[in-house]
Amino acid sequence: MCGIVGYAGARPALGIVLDGLRRLEYRGYDSAGVAVVCEGELLTEKKAGKLANLEKVLAERPAADPVFGDGATAPGIGVGTTGIGHTRWATHGGPTDRNAHPHTAGDGRVAVIHNGIIENFAKLRAELEAEGVEFSSDTDTECAAHLLAGELARLRAAGEPDGPRLLAVAMRQVCQRLEGAFTLLAVDAGIPGAVVGARRNSPLVVGRGVGENYLASDVSAFIEHTREAVELGQDQVVLITADDIEITDFAGAPASGKDFHIDWDASAAEKGGYDYFMLKEIAEQPQAIADTLLGRLTENGEIALDEVRLTDQDLRDVDKIFIVACGTAYHAGMVAKYAIEHWTRIPCEVELASEFRYRDPVLDRSTLVVAISQSGETMDTLMALRHAKEQKARVLAICNTNGSTIPRESDAVLYTHGGPEVAVASTKAFLTQLVACYLIGLHLAQVRGIKYADEVAAVVAQLQEMPDKLRELLAGIEPVRELARDIKAAPTVLFIGRHVGFPVALEGALKLKELAYMHAEGFAAGELKHGPIALIDQGTPVVCVVPSPAGRGMLHDKIVSNIQEIRARGARTIVIAEEGDTAVTPYADHLIYVPRTPTLLAPLVTTVPLQVLACEIAAARGHDVDQPRNLAKSVTVE
């Protein structure tokens, strides 16, 4: 997690770095800090809490900082044209001012920011302390700062020419001593105009500007300034100056990144008049689905993936599918299982990525592992993917973030074109992940000759109707908001569903937990009688996700019985059902109709009221909807 920005150019760095941090704040908001190189000095500021706290402190700083003895003044932090900034999701050391990044060393002349975990930090710290280094934080990052300052001093003492390259040489030496996952950025007061970065198992992209260059955890930090970016490889060091980008591996051998163009625009990452990013992103779902479907059907009626390093024969050889993902993406995988097995008849298992490799799954060349991730950086999913590749399985990624690690390490990719998702709680990413899963199921069915082109086209046509159905649903969503305010004080909210409604129930409960900090649980409706029904008390709200009666009638009838059972025990039933489904009316204390949708595609509509419900309850309880406590958008630690 943690958001990282670096800038080298001709403009004042501070504003650019702060703007970038604002866009990256979703990655962590325990503290924020900046370091700017200015006329041979390093000026830093850092503060616990959200970026706003840092901005307040910066605003209170005099325009010209009185510094450096003799009562002399130097230009202020707002003037320097080289800078780095960090927004933190705490791992080592609590979320305090002293643990905020940047961490400085070498008499305050070197500043380092870091994302990830340096696993051998205890050993390094002991070594440094034995050499007399004094630490001023509890972080693992500070080791890297002292190591870098030490390397720079050693290189200078050895007569190495000073300048940007010295920073890169020193950083490479440091990286060779670090274990774990890290993105590091550093500046040195004596090397103005240069920022050095390094990455291992943690994200870092380069933004290529004109007379200026950027480094960031993801492209949203710099899309306002440039849409040209460079994807870095694993174990690389990158040095940026105003006019140059130099990439090497950790040993110093020249390396190259992969250039790409970012097709999001800056306004896509702004709130656009909504109170919260989450509301904006919920409203963007029709477009996000339409965009994800765009151009997927070739002239021959075949489904096109984005980057396919798998042949049709590889896909025909698949005899087992594992879907690996976390959180909301895992729920998308659960829905996918129903569709993929139904359409392809290939056995499909869904696994929590964090559990996958530890249970030693049976994988071989004919196993297809589908890794679903919005960010493309989730460490649990990345590790599951790597385990799958070690076992020779083929990996296909579903991802929303171009240039991120998961798609880069996969054999094939289908990008969800959801645009930037800023709110920590995933909404449009979930719906677009569902669409991507349907497309993959159809592609597999077609390649294996189980579905004809016209059958595939028929499902794609149903998918293409979904944006309008969602618009219709969102236009009538106000009653869900009212209901949210009504149940905001409930101690527990339960969610039940069957078939594809089961993962929807889990997703509804997850949203409520993470946003409203309420006890919420999702169940397969049939499981209630095996225990959870004991949770139902007088007035307990239970959200019931009802399948279409036009799909599998038996399924519909079963859940109607389940609703009666819980109502008889005092539950306040909130029923999500298809328009025209009158069978549920007598048992619904609140009835929320969604547009008619084919059974397997129903989660695309039934999830939406649950997203709105959670968002509104959280707002009514006074919580920060976009940045819920203890969470971060991109979870780059295991």
420 forms part of the interface with ligand F6R (CB under 6 A): no
For position 354 contacting ligand F6R by CB under 6 A, the verdict is no
231 or 514: CB nearest ligand F6R:
514
**Minimum distance, C-beta of residue 314 to ligand F6R, in the bound complex (Å):** 24
CB-nearer residue toward ligand F6R: 124 or 632: 632
**Binding residue for ligand F6R, selected from 248, 373, 402, 627, defined by CB under 6 A:** 373
The answer to whether 380 and 638 are in contact (CB under 8 A) is yes
Region near ligand F6R per CB under 6 A, out of 7-15, 320-328, 520-528, 600-608: 320-328
Report which residue type is found at 522: G
The CB-of-468 to ligand F6R minimum distance in angstroms stands at 26
Q: Does 282 bind ligand F6R (CB under 6 A)?
A: no
**Under rule CB under 6 A, residue 327 binds ligand F6R:** yes
Q: How far is the CB of 628 from ligand F6R (least distance, A)?
A: 9
SS (H, E, C) 36-101: EEECCEEEEEEEECCHHHHHHHHHHCCCCCECCCCCCECCCCCCCCEEEEEEECCCCCCCCCCCCC
User: Which CB sits closer to ligand F6R, 104 or 427?
Assistant: 427
Report the distance separating Cα 483 and Cα 479, nearest Å: 6
- Stretch of residues binding ligand F6R (CB under 6 A), selected from 141-149, 214-222, 326-334, 567-575: 326-334
**Looking at beta carbons only, is 385 or 457 nearer to ligand F6R?**
385
Nearest distance in Å: CB 329, ligand F6R: 4
Positive/negative CA dihedral, 467, 473, 478, 483: negative
Q: How many chain residues interact with ligand F6R (CB under 6 A)?
A: 14
Q: Name beta bridge partners: 85.
A: 5, 34
Q: Which of 152, 187, 232, 326 forms a contact with ligand F6R (CB under 6 A)? A: 326
- Shortest reach from residue 193's CB to ligand F6R, in Å: 35
Check binding of 378 to ligand F6R (CB under 6 A): yes
Q: Is the peptide bond before 102 cis (omega within 30 degrees of 0)?
A: yes
Q: 3-state class of 369 per DSSP?
A: strand
Give the integer Cα–Cα distance in Å for 470 and 39. Answer: 55
Which is closer to ligand F6R, CB of 26 or CB of 121? Answer: 26
Which candidate, 364, 369, 367, places its Cα nearest to that of 350? 369
Annotated catalytic residue within 451, 469, 511, 633: 633
Residue 2 is a catalytic residue? yes
**Residue 618: CB minimum distance to ligand F6R, A:** 12
- Name the catalytic one among 2, 399, 544, 615: 2
| Cβ–Cβ < 8 Å for 509, 521 | yes
Contact window for ligand F6R (CB under 6 A) among 181-189, 325-333, 532-540, 562-570: 325-333
Q: Is the dihedral of CA 508, 511, 512, 517 positive or negative?
A: positive
For the record, the structure tokens of 148 come out as 């870098």
Q: Active-site residue 633, yes or no? A: yes
Give CA torsion, residues 46, 48, 52, 54, to 10 deg. Answer: -10
* Binding mask of the shown chain, residues 166 to 205, with x at each position contacting ligand F6R by CB under 6 A: ----------------------------------------
Question: Tokens for 324?
Answer: 């690996």
329, 334, 588, 601: which one binds ligand F6R (CB under 6 A): 329
Query: In this complex, which beta carbon is closest to ligand F6R, that of residue 344 or of residue 426?
Result: 426
Q: With beta carbons less than 8 A apart as the criterion, state whether 208 and 230 touch.
A: yes
Residue 375 touches ligand F6R, criterion: CB under 6 A? yes
CB of 396 vs ligand F6R, minimal distance in Å: 15
Report the C-alpha gap between 411 and 440 in whole angstroms. 14
Pick the closest to residue 107 from 136, 87, 66 (CA basis): 136
Strands 541-545 and 572-578 turn out to be parallel
- Sign of the C-alpha dihedral, residues 536, 538, 541, 547? positive
CB of 289 to ligand F6R, least distance (A): 17
Is the Cβ of residue 151 or residue 514 nearer to ligand F6R in the bound state? 514
Which residue of 148, 413, 614, 635 would you call a contact of ligand F6R, by CB under 6 A? 635
How far is Cα 485 from Cα 196, in angstroms, rounded to an integer? 50
Two tokens at 200?
């291992």
Which residue in the set 425, 524, 555, 625 belongs to the binding site for ligand F6R (CB under 6 A)?
A: 425
> How open is the CA angle 619-620-622, to the nearest 5 degrees?
65
Residue numbers annotated as active site: 2, 633
Interface with ligand F6R (CB under 6 A): 326-329, 373-375, 378, 381, 425-426, 510, 514, 635
